[in-house]
C-alpha cells in the first residue's frame, strides 16, 4: 500500500530478521483490514526492534491517524514535519533523499492540500514528480492526481493538462474502449444490475477508476480554459461509460453556463439533485446547487434571485459545518481530514458581494469583500471588486454627465463683454461635483473611499504578471512546456497537443483582468486629482495592440481629460478622434466560443442590470461556479477524487 512504507532502506535490507519480516506482514494485513489497534500493537513491537528506522516511525504516525478517524490532523502534521522536516526549511536545490521517502512527502502534501495550503503542497509535489519513473505505480498514480489537482486549484490549467497528457502516455492507454462500457447497442445506458460483464480483477478495476478520474480532470481543465468543444467531448465519453451522477450533472451545467445556455443549465441542475452527507464526503451538494443557481440567475440579469440563492447556500454551508464541529475544539483536532476543505463560506461571500454590487448595493458588497479578504489573500480579482465598490459609492451613475443643458451651465462660469469683444470664461473643473472630500479618513482602513480603492488597484497591478498581452500563442506554449518539463528526466514528452490554444485562453483571461484594472486605476486617479498618474495608466492601457474598443475609448478619454487638466490642450486633441468610437467591444473573446453561443452570451450580457456600473469592468459578473461532489470534496463540476493518506 502507498499509505505506509513497506520497504526498508537500502543499507538495512540485509539486516532484516525473520521476526521483523513477519511483524511487517502482520502490520500490512491488519492495516488493510482496518484493524488499526492491533496494527499499532505490531508496530510498537517492530519499533522496539528498529528504533531508528524512520519508515517504522512514519507508519506508526499514519496508523495512529487512521485510528483517530483522520481527526488528529494537527498532531499528525507536526509528527510528519518532525520525521522529514518542513518543506520551507529545505534548500531549493535539495532533492528528496530517495524514492522511499516519497511516501512521507506525499502524505505531508495531502495534509497541506486539505488544509488549503496549496502553494506549500505544490512545492512538495513538484519535487516528488521528479521521482515518478522509479516510483511504485499506485503511489505514482496518486502523485499525478494530486499534482493535477493542485495545478487546477492554483489556476494553472496549462500545467495541469501537460501533466495529464504525460500520465496518459506513460501509464494508460488512451483507448476508451478498454474501459468497461455500460451502453447497449441502441445507445441506452444500462444499470449496474443489467450489465452482464465478466468479473474483473482488482487491478483492472483500479485502472478503470484511474482513467475515469483523468477524464473528469481533463473536462475540468477544458472548462477552465474555455475549450468547450473538447469539454463536451469528454463529458459525452463519461456518460457513455455510465458515469451519470451529481458530478457529471454539475459538469454539464457548467458547460452550458459558459456557452450562454442558462435555461438549459438550470434544467440540468434541477434534473437529479441528491443531497450528500457532509460527514461522509466532506461537502454539501445543496451548497453547490444554490451557488450555481445564483451564478446562472446573475448571468441572466436577476441579482435579487441570485441573492436569495446565495443566502440559502450560506445557511446550508453553516448547517453542514455545525454538524461536524465540536464546541470549544480546534477543527484540526476534531474534524476528519476530508471535511476540513468543505467550508465554502468565503467563496459564497465573494459571490454574494458580486451579486450585491450588480444590484447597486455597493456598501454591503464592500463588507462582503472585506470579509473575504481576511481569508483569501493576494487575489487581484477581489481587489478589483473592492475598488469597484469604492467607485460606486463615490458616483452611483453617469446620468448627470449626459444632462447636456445642465452640463453647459457647469462649464461656462460667466460671459463678459458684448459683440465682437464678447468673452466666455470657462469653469476650472468639468463638473461641480467633481471634487472629492475625504478629510479625516484613514486610507489604510477598509472603507468604500476612492483612496482605499486606489490602494486596492495598486496592489492588484503588482500581483499581475507583466507580460499579459495575448500576442504570440506559440511563445506562450513554449514557456509553459519548459516550466513543466523541469521536473522530468530527459527523453520524456509531456504531450502538449492543446497547450498553445489553452495557454492563449489563459492569457486572454489575465489580459482582460489587467486592462480592467488599468482603466479603473486611470479613472480613480483622475477623480483624486492625480492627473500625471491617470495619464500614465491611460497610456499603459493604450499601449496594448489588441485592446477592446470600449477600453480604447475610455483610455483615450481619460488621457485627454488628464492632459486638459495639465494644460496640454494640443496633446489632448490627439486623443479625441472619432475613429476611437467605432468599436465598443468590452473584452477579447475566448478562442473557441461558437458564434451562436457568442451571440447568446452577448444578448444576455447587454441587458442592463439596475444600478450597474457604467464603466466596463471585465467580461462578466465573475462569480464562481462551483463543481464538486468528489468522493469527498468540491469545487465546480466533476466529482473530485481527493488523494488520501
Identify the band that residue 202 occupies on the pLDDT scale cut at 50, 70 and 90.
low
**Contacts of residue 590, Cβ cutoff 8 Å, sequence gap at least 6:** 226, 505, 508
Report whether pLDDT(327) > 70: no
- The residue behind cell 455597493 is 362
Distance CA 442, CA 331 (A): 36
3-state SS, residue 254: helix
> According to the model, what pLDDT value does residue 388 have?
95
Report whether pLDDT(528) > 80: yes
Between 557 and 466, the more confident residue is 557
Cell of 577: 478622434
Report whether pLDDT(468) > 80: no
> According to the model, what pLDDT value does residue 193 have?
40
Identify the band that residue 551 occupies on the pLDDT scale cut at 50, 70 and 90.
very high
> According to the model, what pLDDT value does residue 554 have?
93
Distance CA 288, CA 638 (A): 12
Average pLDDT over residues 160-181: 71
Average pLDDT over residues 127-148: 90
| Sign of the Cα pseudo-torsion (106, 108, 111, 116, in order) | negative
Distance CA 341, CA 112 (A): 10
Cell of 348: 459564497
> According to the model, what pLDDT value does residue 143 have?
93
Report whether pLDDT(465) > 90: no
Among the residue ranges 51-60, 318-327, 339-348, 581-590, the one predicted with the least confidence is 581-590
Q: What is the pLDDT of residues 396-451, one digit of tens each?
A: 887 877 777 777 777 788 888 888 888 888 777 666 655 455 555 566 678 899 99
Distance CA 246, CA 639 (A): 8
> According to the model, what pLDDT value does residue 473 have?
41
Q: What is the pLDDT of residues 534-548, one digit of tens each?
A: 999 999 999 998 888
Q: What is the pLDDT of residues 251-289, one digit of tens each?
A: 999 999 999 999 999 999 998 667 777 877 888 889 999
Q: Over pLDDT 70: what percentage of the chain?
A: 72
359, 609 contact by CB (below 8 A) = yes
DSSP 32-83: HHT-HHHHHHHHHHHHHH-TT-HHHHHHHHHHHHHHTTT--HHHHHHHHHHH
Q: What is the pLDDT of residues 469-491, one digit of tens each?
A: 654 343 333 333 444 443 443 33
> According to the model, what pLDDT value does residue 188 have?
37
> According to the model, what pLDDT value does residue 456 have?
94
- The residue behind cell 482603466 is 519
Q: What is the pLDDT of residues 358-374, one digit of tens each?
A: 999 999 999 999 999 99
Identify the band that residue 384 occupies on the pLDDT scale cut at 50, 70 and 90.
very high
Mean pLDDT of the chain: 77
Average pLDDT over residues 225-247: 87
Distance CA 260, CA 295 (A): 12
b/e map 426-450, b = 16+ CB within 10 Å = eeeeeeeeeeeeeeeeeeeebbbbb
* pTM recorded for the entire structure: 0.80
Report CA 392 to chain centroid distance, whole Å. Answer: 26
> According to the model, what pLDDT value does residue 302 have?
94
User: Helix, strand, coil proportions of the chain in percent (round to 5)?
Assistant: 60, 0, 35
Between 113 and 594, the more confident residue is 113
602, 259 contact by CB (below 8 A) = no
Give the long-range contacts of residues 137-145, CB within 8 A, separation 24 or more: 137/171, 138/1, 138/2, 138/206, 139/2, 139/102, 139/103, 139/106, 140/171, 141/167, 141/171, 141/210, 142/2, 142/106, 142/643, 143/102, 143/106, 144/171, 145/210, 145/213, 145/217, 145/641, 145/643
Per DSSP, what are the bridge partners of residue 189?
A: 183
DSSP 419-437: GGG-EEEEPSSS-TT----
Distance CA 200, CA 184 (A): 19
Q: What is the crossing angle of helices 246-259 and 262-271, to 10°?
A: 170
Distance CA 7, CA 44 (A): 17
Report whether pLDDT(623) > 70: no
Report whether pLDDT(609) > 60: no
Between 220 and 606, the more confident residue is 220
Report CA 451 to chain centroid distance, whole Å. Answer: 29
Distance CA 398, CA 405 (A): 15
Cell of 46: 517492530
Q: What is the pLDDT of residues 8-30, one digit of tens each?
A: 444 444 478 888 889 999 999 99
Cell of 556: 483615450
528, 450 contact by CB (below 8 A) = yes
Task: Fill in the DSSP letter of residue 225.
Answer: T
Report whether pLDDT(91) > 80: no
Task: Fill in the DSSP letter of residue 413.
Answer: E
- The residue behind cell 468610437 is 581
> According to the model, what pLDDT value does residue 199 have?
53
Identify the band that residue 148 occupies on the pLDDT scale cut at 50, 70 and 90.
very high
With residue 194 as reference, give the H or E element that holds it: none
Identify the band that residue 466 occupies on the pLDDT scale cut at 50, 70 and 90.
confident
Distance CA 164, CA 222 (A): 12
Residue spans of the domains in the chain: they are 516-590+613-623
> According to the model, what pLDDT value does residue 274 have?
74
Report whether pLDDT(194) > 80: no
Report CA 241 to chain centroid distance, whole Å. Answer: 28
> According to the model, what pLDDT value does residue 90 have?
52
CA 5-9-14 angle, 5° bins:
120
Amino acid at each position: 500500500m502507498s499509505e505506509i512504507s513497506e520497504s526498508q532502506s537500502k543499507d538495512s535490507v540485509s539486516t532484516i530478521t525473520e521476526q521483523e519480516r513477519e511483524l511487517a506482514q502482520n502490520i500490512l494485513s491488519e492495516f488493510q483490514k482496518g484493524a488499526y489497534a492491533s496494527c499499532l500493537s505490531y508496530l510498537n513491537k517492530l519499533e522496539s526492534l528498529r528504533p531508528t528506522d524512520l519508515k517504522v516511525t512514519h507508519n506508526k504516525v499514519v496508523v495512529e491517524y487512521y485510528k483517530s478517524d483522520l481527526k488528529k490532523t494537527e498532531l499528525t502534521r507536526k509528527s510528519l514535519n518532525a520525521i522529514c522536516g518542513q518543506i520551507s526549511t529545505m534548500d531549493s536545490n535539495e532533492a528528496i533523499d530517495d524514492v522511499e521517502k516519497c511516501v512521507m512527502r506525499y502524505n505531508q502534501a495531502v495534509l497541506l492540500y486539505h488544509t488549503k495550503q496549496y502553494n506549500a503542497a505544490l512545492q512538495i509535489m513538484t519535487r516528488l514528480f521528479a521521482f515518478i519513473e522509479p516510483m511504485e505505480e499506485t503511489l505514482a498514480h496518486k502523485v499525478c492526481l494530486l499534482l493535477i489537482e493542485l495545478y487546477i486549484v492554483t489556476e494553472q490549467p496549462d500545467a495541469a493538462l501537460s501533466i495529464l497528457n504525460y500520465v496518459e502516455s506513460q501509464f494508460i492507454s488512451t483507448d476508451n474502449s478498454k474501459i468497461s462500457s455500460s451502453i447497449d447497442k441502441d445507445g441506452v445506458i444500462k444499470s449496474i444490475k443489467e450489465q452482464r460483464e465478466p468479473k474483473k480483477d482488482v487491478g483492472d478495476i483500479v485502472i478503470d477508476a484511474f482513467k475515469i478520474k483523468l477524464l473528469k480532470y481533463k473536462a475540468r481543465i477544458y472548462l477552465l480554459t474555455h475549450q468547450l468543444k473538447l469539454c463536451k467531448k469528454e463529458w459525452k465519453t463519461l456518460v457513455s461509460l455510465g458515469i451519470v451522477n451529481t458530478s457529471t450533472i454539475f459538469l454539464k451545467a457548467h458547460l452550458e453556463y459558459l456557452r450562454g445556455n442558462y435555461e438549459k443549465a438550470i434544467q440540468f441542475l434541477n434534473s437529479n439533485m441528491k443531497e450528500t452527507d457532509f460527514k461522509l464526503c466532506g461537502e454539501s451538494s445543496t451548497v453547490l446547487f444554490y451557488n450555481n443557481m445564483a451564478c446562472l440567475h446573475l448571468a441572466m440579469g436577476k441579482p435579487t434571485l441570485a441573492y436569495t440563492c446565495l443566502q440559502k447556500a450560506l445557511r446550508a454551508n453553516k448547517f453542514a459545518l455545525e454538524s461536524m464541529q465540536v464546541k470549544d475544539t480546534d477543527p484540526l483536532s476534531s474534524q476528519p481530514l476530508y471535511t476540513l476543505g468543505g467550508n465554502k463560506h468565503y467563496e459564497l461571500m465573494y459571490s454574494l458581494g458580486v451579486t450585491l454590487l450588480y444590484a447597486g448595493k455597493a456598501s454591503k458588497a464592500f463588507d462582503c469583500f472585506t470579509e473575504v479578504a481576511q481569508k483569501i489573500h493576494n487575489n487581484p480579482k477581489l481587489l478589483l471588486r473592492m475598488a469597484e465598490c469604492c467607485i460606486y459609492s463615490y458616483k452611483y451613475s453617469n446620468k448627470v454627465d449626459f444632462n447636456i443643458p445642465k452640463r453647459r451651465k457647469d462649464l461656462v462660469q460667466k460671459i463678459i463683454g458684448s459683440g465682437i469683444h464678447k468673452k466666455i470664461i470657462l469653469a476650472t473643473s468639468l463638473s461641480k461635483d467633481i471634487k472629492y472630500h475625504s478629510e479625516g479618513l484613514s486610507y489604510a482602513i477598509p472603507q468604500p473611499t476612492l483612496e482605499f480603492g486606489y490602494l486596492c488597484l495598486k496592489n492588484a497591478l503588482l500581483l499581475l504578471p507583466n507580460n499579459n498581452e495575448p500576442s504570440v500563442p506559440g511563445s506562450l506554449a513554449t514557456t509553459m512546456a519548459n516550466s513543466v518539463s523541469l521536473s522530468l528526466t530527459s527523453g520524456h514528452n509531456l504531450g502538449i497537443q492543446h497547450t498553445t490554444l489553452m495557454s492563449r485562453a489563459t492569457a486572454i483571461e489575465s489580459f482582460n483582468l489587467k486592462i480592467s484594472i488599468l482603466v479603473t486605476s486611470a479613472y480613480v486617479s483622475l477623480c483624486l486629482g492625480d492627473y500625471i498618474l491617470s495619464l500614465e495608466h491611460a497610456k499603459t492601457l493604450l499601449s496594448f495592440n489588441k485592446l477592446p474598443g470600449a477600453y480604447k475609448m475610455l483610455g483615450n478619454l481619460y488621457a485627454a481629460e488628464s492632459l486638459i487638466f495639465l494644460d496640454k490642450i494640443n496633446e489632448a486633441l490627439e486623443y479625441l478622434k472619432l475613429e476611437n468610437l467605432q468599436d465598443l467591444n468590452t473584452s477579447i473573446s475566448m478562442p473557441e466560443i461558437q458564434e451562436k453561443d457568442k451571440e447568446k452570451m452577448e444578448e444576455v450580457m447587454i441587458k442592463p442590470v439596475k444600478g450597474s456600473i457604467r464603466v466596463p469592468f471585465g467580461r462578466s459578473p465573475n462569480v464562481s461556479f462551483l463543481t464538486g461532489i468528489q468522493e469527498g470534496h468540491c469545487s465546480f463540476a466533476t466529482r473530485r477524487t481527493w488523494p488520501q493518506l
